[in-house]
Amino acid sequence: MFNYTIRRTLLAIPTLFFISLVLFLLLDLAPGDPTAQLPLTIPPEVREKIRLALGLGEPFHIRFLLWLEQFFINEPLHLLTELTGVDFSGDRQRVISWQSRSPVMDIVVQRLPQTLWVVGMSYVIGTIIALPIGIISAYRQYSWFDQIGTFVSMVGFSIPTFFTGVLLIVIFSVHLGWFPSIYDTTHVVTDWSSLIVQIKQMIMPTMVLALYNAAQISRFMRASMLDNLNQDYVRTARAKGLRENVVLLVHVLRNSMIPVVTVIAIGVPTVFGGAIITEQVFKVNGLGQLLITAIQANDIPMVQTLTFIFAVLIVLFNLLADILYGILDPRIRYE
Amino acid sequence: MKKLFVITLALIVMATSGFAMRGSSGHVNILYWQAPSILNPYLSGGTKEIEAASLIIEPLARYDESGNMVPWLAESIPTTENGGVSDDLKTITWKIRDGLVWSDGSSFTSADVVFTHEYCTHPEGGCAQGQKFEDVVSVEALDDLTVKVTFSIEKPFPYGPFVGAQSPIIQKAQFEDCLGTAAPGCTDQNFMPIGTGPYVVTEFRPNDVISLEANANYRDSAKPGFATVTFKGGGDATAAGRAVLETGEFDYAWNLQLAPQVLQQMSEAGKGQVISAFGTAVERIMVNMTDPSPERGEERSTRAHPHPFLSDINVRKALSLAIDRNILNEIGYGITGKPTCNVVPAPAIYASTANEGCLVQDMDMANQILDEAGWVKGSDGVREKDGMRLSILYQTSTNAVRQDFQALIKQWWSEIGVETELRNLDASVFFGGDPGSPDTFQKFFADVEMYTNIFDGTDPEPYFNLWKCGREPSPENGWQGGNIPRYCDEGYDANLSELSKTGDLNRRIELSKALNDQLMQEYIMIPLIHRGRVSAHSNSLGGVVLNPWDSELWNIADWYRQ
Amino acid sequence: MADHQPENEPLVEVRDLKVYFPVLAGVLRRKVGEVKAVDKVSLDIMQGETLGLVGESGCGKTTAGRAILRLNDITDGTVKIKGKYIHKSSLKEIRKIRPTMQMIFQDPQESLNPRMTVSAIISEPLTEHQNLSKKEREERVFDLMDSVGLNRDFATRYPHEFSGGQRQRIGIARALALNPELIVCDEPIAALDVSIQAQVVNLLEDLQEERNLTYLFISHDLGMVRHIATRVAVMYLGQIVEIGKSESLYSSPLHPYTEALLSAVPEADPEIERTRKAIVLSGDVPSPANPPEGCNFCNRCPKAFDICHKVEPTLTEIEPGRFVSCHLYNG
C-alpha cells in the first residue's frame, strides 16, 4: 500500500506538469484581453503600456517558465518565510494577479474561509442528509418515501442553483425578510448573537448547495444499497438470525459505503472549486466568484493558479479515494 | 473596537456642540455589483476601481452633477481670466487649499501633485490614466501650495491632469518606492492608499469588500456624516437592485442597467428609489466606410478599399431613417435612456439641435431615397444596384438589450429592402483589442457595429479627435486607434484643428456643434440612445446627488441618514 | 424441547406451501399477474434424515427451501418445525428460533460478507444468540473450524483469500455455530470443482452423523442426491410430482418426469451406460407465471392423455411412503 501510494504520487508529477502546460496554452490561446473591461475612453497606446507592464510582451514559453518558477519555487519559499519568520524568499517575485496587482495566493487564502464555511458546510450537510435518505429509499424501494426521495433528487439534480437560489431569496429575503440576501464576508463570529447572524446568512446558500449535493449522493447511496441488499451474504446474515438493523447497518451499509465513500472523497475538490453560481447569487465571494471574476477580467495568473490548484486537489483526492477503497474493501490490495 | 471608538468620539463631540457631527449617521452600506480589485485608479482604469478609490483619494478639481467644474483640493479653478491659465494656453497653475492634511496627519503639498504625475508617466508603470497626462511637458512645484503644469501644445481645455475621479492625487511618501516596475509589488499601497478624502480603508478584500471609516483628519470637521462604510462588491445588477429596493439590506446600489419593467417592479416594494442622470454615453451604430470583405485579405477594413455600398450616403441615411428610436428606448432603457440624434448630446451647451429629425421613423422617405439612388428591390425583396446587394453584417457585444435592438433593427431594415445578418460577440473579446482576434470592434470586420461610448469630463474635443483622418485602426498601427468608422474628411479635420487652438468657449461650442452635425448629417455614425447612469438608494439615505460627470460617490461626505 | 417431541412426528411438516411473486408492470407498477414459484407443496422431513429435493433449475426448489426457513415470504400454506407453526410468526419470533434451523448456500463466495473475517463470520451468530465470553466464543470458533477441517490460523483472513471448497467449509461452520437441528443445503456443491464436491458432501455426512442433523438437500445433481438422501422429492414447475424412498424412486421412477430426469443421469457402469436410453423431453419448461391448464407437465409429457390437459392431478400415496402426482396412477 505504501509503495503504491508513493508510486501514484510520483506518477502525479508529470500528470500535473502536463495539466499546467495545457492550462497555460488554453488560457494563452483563448481570445480576450486584460484591458477589455476598461472604459473605451482609455486610448490604445495606454492599453498597450498596461499590457506590457503585465508582462504580456514576453513570448509564451518565457511566461510559462516564469509562472512555473513563481508557483513552484517562489510561493513555497514565501510560505516558509511566513511560517518560520526566517527570510527564505528574499525579493523573489510571487504570482501576481493582474487585477489587483497583489499576490494570488494571498487572495486565495483570504477567500478560503467563506468557501469552506458555505460550500464545505453544504457538502457536509448534503452528505448527512443524503446517507439516511439513500439507505431508507433502498430498503423500502418503491415505497412512498422512496418515491418522494426520487422526486426531490430529480429536483435537486435538474433545477439549476441560480433558480433555487433566487427563489429562496425572493421568498425568504424579499417577502419574509428572515435571511439576508447578501453574504457579509467581513462578519466575525465572537459570541452567541454573532453566531446566529452567521448561521442566518449561511442558511440559504448552504441549503441550495446541500440540496444539489444530497441529490447526487443519495442516489449513489441508494443504488449501492440496492446492489448489496440482493446479495447472498445479506440472506446469510438474516439466516444467522441477526436483527434487521444489524443486517442493514452492519452488513449491507458497510459494504455499500465502499463506493459511496470514494464518490464523496472524489467530490471534495469541488468544494474548494467553490460554487461559482451560488456564490454569485448570494455574493459569498469565495473561490468560485474569484475564479469567475478572474476569467471575466482575463486575469491569467489568477485563473492559471486557481485552476491548477483545483487540478492538484482533484489528483490528490482521486489518489485518496483509491487508497480509501483499498482500506475499506479487504478484497482490494494495491501492490 | 475602532468603530466603537469613532462612534463614541462622535457622540462626545455631538454632545458638546449640538449640530450635525462627523459620523453621526452611523453606518452606510454601498453595493457595487462589480467588485473593485484594487484601490489605485492608476493601475486599473475600471469604473469600479475609480469610484471606490474616490472615497479615499481626491483630485484638485472635479465636476458637479451638472458638469460644472468645482475646485476640490484646489482653491479655485484656474482660467485665463483669473490668470491661472496662461494666455498662450500652454500652462495652468493650480493653487492648493491651505491647511490640507493627509489621513495620516502629514500635510498635503505640491510635491504630492508633482509625484502623482511622475508616478503615472513612468514608462514602465503601465499607468491606466496615461491619457490624462497627454501632452504634459512638466509639472513643477512653484511653492508648497502651487503647481504649474506645462503642455507641449496649446491646451484650450487644460483640465486633464488632476481633474476628475480618474486622476486623484496620491501621497508621495507612501508611493515613493512604487514607481515603474515596482508598482505592482506595492500591494499595501494599492490596497490602502493614504488620501485626503472623507474615508480611510480599514480592510480591503480584493474583488469582495472594502471596509472604511471616517478620516479623522478630514478637512471639514462636521463631515462625513457616516462613521463607517461597507463597500461590497459582486453579484449582478438585478441582485444589487433587489438588495436596495426590495430587501433594504443596502443603502446604495450602482449602475442598475436593468430592463425598465424590472426597475419599476422593484421600486414598488417601497424601500428605496431609482435615480438616473445623463452624462455623455450614447449607444450608436458605427458605419464601416471601408470594405470589410474577407477577399481584401490584409487590406480588409482599411482605407485602401471604400465600402461597396455604405460609402453611398443615401444608403446610410436610409438606414438611419428606418430606425424608430422611441421604441428602442422604451424596450431597452425606459427612464434610464432617451432617444438621441447626436453623438454628443451633453453637456447641454454642446448639444446640437440640428438633427432632431431622426427622432421620427420615416420608412417612406427611406424607401424613396433608396429608389432615387438607384437601389432596386430584387425578387427576394433585397435591393440591388450593379449586382451589389444591400446585405449587411451587423455586429455587437453579447447583451440582452443589444440583441433586442439588433432584432428590431434587422426587421426595420428588411422593410426598406436591406438584408441583415446579425452577430454578437463576447464583450471581453469584442472590446478586448487583442490584435490577434478578428472579432474586436477595432478590426470591424463587419458592415456596421453597435456599442456605447462616452467621453471623460465635459470637454468633447478629445472625443471628436477620435474621428480624425489617420486615427483609424489598421494593420500598420496594430489595429489601435479610435476612428472606428474609418472616416476621413478635410473639412472635419480643419474644424478640429481650429478647435484645438480656440480658447473662447462660445467659439468652442460652435465648432463642437459643427463637428457633431457633420458626423450626423453624413451618417458616419447612427446614434440611437442617450444612456443615463442609473443607481438606487434607500429611502433613509439622504444627500445623494447622482453625478454623471464624475464618481457617483463624489459627495459621499454629505450623505446622511434621514 | 427435542425431548418432548413425539417419535412419529416429523421435524418439518409443510402443507400446501405457496410462494407467489407478483408481476409488476406499467408506469404505476401495478400487479398484473403472479409467478407461482412454489405452488401447493407439502412435505415432511423426519428427524435425522436427509430429504433430497431435485428438479431443473427454476423449478422452485431453492424458493421452497428458503420459504421453509422463512427467508422468503410465504404466500399461503403452513410450515411446522419442531411442532411449532412458524409460517405466521413475526420476524422477531423467527429470529429466536433461527438457531435451530440454518442454511448452507449455493455460492460460498457471494454468501459470505466480503468485509468480515472468518472468525467474525462464524462468531457473529454466537454474539447475537448466546451469552459467551470473548474467550469462549473464540474457543467455539476454533472448534467449529476444526470440525469442518479449516486451519485455525485462517481465522483472521477474509473470504476472498480462500478457495471455493474452503469457503463452503466456512459457510458450513457458520451454519453449525448455533447447533441447529435442521440445515437446508441449497445446492451446496453446485459452485464447486468436482474434485471438491465429494469432500464437502462427505463432510456434511460426517457432521450429520456426529450431530444428528436433519438435512433438506436441494440439488439438481441426481447422482449426488441418490448418494446422500434418505428420501427424494422431485419438483417440477413449483410442484412436487413425486416423493419416495431414495432406492425405490431411483430404481422404479413412477412419474414420467422423474423417469425422464433419471434417464439423463449417466451410469457409472459402461455396460449399462451403453444401453441407457435418455428420454428427451420436447418443448421448454412453461413459465411459472403462466402454467398450462391441467397437469403442469402435460405439454411435455410423452404419456399425456386427455384428462391430463383438463384436470390437475393431486399428490397421492401409491404405496407406503411413495407419493405421485400423475393421472396414470390415480386410477
Q: In this prediction, what percent of chain B has a pLDDT beyond 90? A: 54
Three-class secondary structure assignment of B113-137: HHHHHHHHHCCCCCCCCHHHHCCEE
Cβ–Cβ under 8 Å, residues B61 and B162: yes
Cell of residue B318, nine digits: 436610409
Q: Per the domain annotation, does A79 fall within a domain?
A: no
Residue A303 contacts by C-beta under 8 Å, 6 or more apart in sequence?
A: A27, A291, A294, A295
Q: What is the DSSP string of B266-311?
A: HHTTSSEEEEEEEEEEEEEEEE--B---GGGGGGTTSTTSB-TTTT
Count CB atoms within 10 A of the CB of residue B518.
17
Residue B490 dihedral angles phi and psi, to the nearest 5°:
-65, -45
Q: How confident is the model at residue A153 (pLDDT cuts 50, 70, 90)?
A: confident
Q: What is the largest CA-CA distance in chain B?
A: 87
Q: How many domains does chain A have?
A: 1
Closest residue to B203, CB basis, from A38, A44, A186: A186
Mean pLDDT, rounded, of chain A: 84
Beta carbons of C113 and A328 less than 8 Å apart: no
Q: How far apart are CA A251 and CA A233, in angstroms?
A: 8
CATH number of the domain within which A271 lies? 1.10.3720.10
Q: Is B480 on the interface with A (CB under 8 A)?
A: yes
The C-alpha atoms of residue C52 and residue B462 are separated, in whole angstroms, by 105
Asked if the structure places residue A233 within a domain, the reply is yes
Q: Which of B199, A240, B333 is nearest to C94 (CA)?
A: A240
Distance from CA of A98 to the nearest CA of B (A): 9
Whether residue A7 is predicted with pLDDT greater than 70 in this model: the reply is yes
**Are C113 and A255 an interchain contact pair (Cβ–Cβ within 8 Å)?**
yes
| Per-position DSSP letters for A175-230, written without gaps between them | IS--S-SS--TT----SHHHHHHHHHHHHHHHHHHHHHHHHHHHHHHHHHHHHHHT
Using one digit for the tens of pLDDT, what is the confidence trace for A185-212? 888 888 888 899 888 888 898 888 888 8
Interface test with C, best of A140, A228, A236, A243 (most C CBs within 10 A): A236
Q: A238 and C71: CB-CB below 8 Å?
A: yes
Q: How far apart are CA A289 and CA A275, in angstroms?
A: 8
Please compute, for residue B55, the number of CA atoms within 13 A of its CA located in the half-sphere on the CB side.
Answer: 30
A contact residues 122-161, partner B, Cβ 8 Å cutoff: none
CA distance C98 to A52: 82
Confidence of residue B142 (pLDDT cuts 50, 70, 90): very high
Mutation choice for A interface testing from B188, B205, B208, B461 by most A CBs within 10 A: B208
Distances (CA, A) of C157 to A319, A325, C110, C125: 26, 18, 16, 18
Is A1 a member of any domain?
Answer: no
Q: What is the mean pLDDT of residues B265-294?
A: 91
A280-302 pLDDT, tens digit per residue, is: 888 888 888 888 888 888 888 88
Instruction: Match 483469500 to its residue by C-alpha cell.
Output: C161
* CA distance, residue A257 to nearest chain C CA (Å): 11
* CB-based contact C71 A235, cutoff 8 Å: yes
C58 CB-contact burial (10 Å; exposed 0-12 / middle 13-18 / buried 19+): middle
- CB contact (8 A) between residue B480 and residue A48: yes
Q: Please name every residue paired with C30 in a beta bridge, in sequence order, or none if there are none.
A: C25
Range 174-213 of A in CB contact (< 8 A) with B: 174, 177, 180-182, 184-186
A174: chain B residues, CB-CB within 8 Å:
242, 246-247, 269
Structural element, H or E, at residue C145: helix C134-147
Number of H helices, E strands in chain B: 15, 21
pLDDT, tens digit, for every residue of B411-435?
A: 999 999 999 999 998 877 787 767 7
A300 occurs within a structural domain: yes
A25 touches chain B (CB under 8 A): no
- Other CB atoms within a 10 A radius of the CB of residue B99 amount to 9
Measured between beta carbons, the chain A residues lying within 8 angstroms of B455 are 41
* CB atoms closer than 10 angstroms to residue B21: 21
CA distance C189 to C215: 14
Using a 10 angstrom Cβ sphere, with 0-12 exposed, 13-18 middle and 19 or more buried, the burial of residue C331 is: exposed
- Domains in chain B (CATH in brackets) are 278-456+525-532 (3.10.105.10)
CB pairs under 8 A between A and B: 196
Residue B217 has pLDDT above 70, yes or no: yes
| Cell numbers representing residue C102 in the block | 440454518
- Residue A30 in any domain: the answer is no
Collapsing DSSP to helix, strand or coil, B140 comes out as strand
| Residue B184, pLDDT score | 65
Burial (CB count <10 Å: 0-12, 13-18, 19+), residue C42: middle
Tens place of pLDDT for every residue, chain C, 331 residues? 344 445 567 889 999 999 988 888 777 777 778 888 888 888 889 988 999 999 888 888 889 998 998 888 888 899 988 888 888 888 888 888 888 888 888 888 888 888 888 988 888 888 888 888 888 888 989 988 988 888 888 888 888 888 888 888 898 888 888 888 999 998 888 878 888 888 888 899 999 998 889 999 999 888 888 888 999 999 998 889 999 999 888 888 889 899 888 887 777 677 777 777 777 777 777 887 788 888 888 888 888 888 888 888 888 888 888 899 988 886 5
Q: Indicate the average pLDDT of chain B.
A: 88
Q: Residue B197 and residue B213: Cα distance in Å, rounded?
A: 11
Q: What is the pLDDT of residue B545?
A: 92
Give the structural domain span for A165: 110-328
Confirm whether A277 is domain-assigned. yes
**pLDDT for residue A335:** 57
Q: Which cell is A227 given?
A: 446492489
Give the minimum alpha-carbon distance from C97 to chain A in angstroms, rounded to a whole number: 8
A 243-262: CB under 8 A from B: none
Amino acid letter for position B518: Q
pLDDT tier at A81, thresholds 50, 70, 90: confident
Nearest CA-CA partner of B143 in B174, B111, B97: B111
Q: What is the pLDDT of residue B4?
A: 54
A235 chain-C contacts, CB cut-off 8 A: 66, 71, 103, 105, 111
Query: A237 and chain B: CB distance < 8 Å anywhere?
Result: no
Closest-approach residue (CA) in chain A for C129? A241
In the prediction, which pLDDT does C280 show? 78
C219/chain A closest Cα distance in angstroms:
18
Cβ atoms of residues C55 and C61 within 8 Å: yes
For residue A304, being part of any structural domain is answered with yes
Which residues of chain B from 488 to 527 reach within 8 Å of chain A, CB to CB?
A: none
In which band, very low, low, confident or very high, does the pLDDT at A12 lie, cut at 50, 70 and 90?
confident
Q: From B207, which residue of chain A is nearest by alpha-carbon distance?
A: A290
Residue A196, judged by CB atoms within 10 A of its CB (0-12, 13-18, 19+), counts as exposed
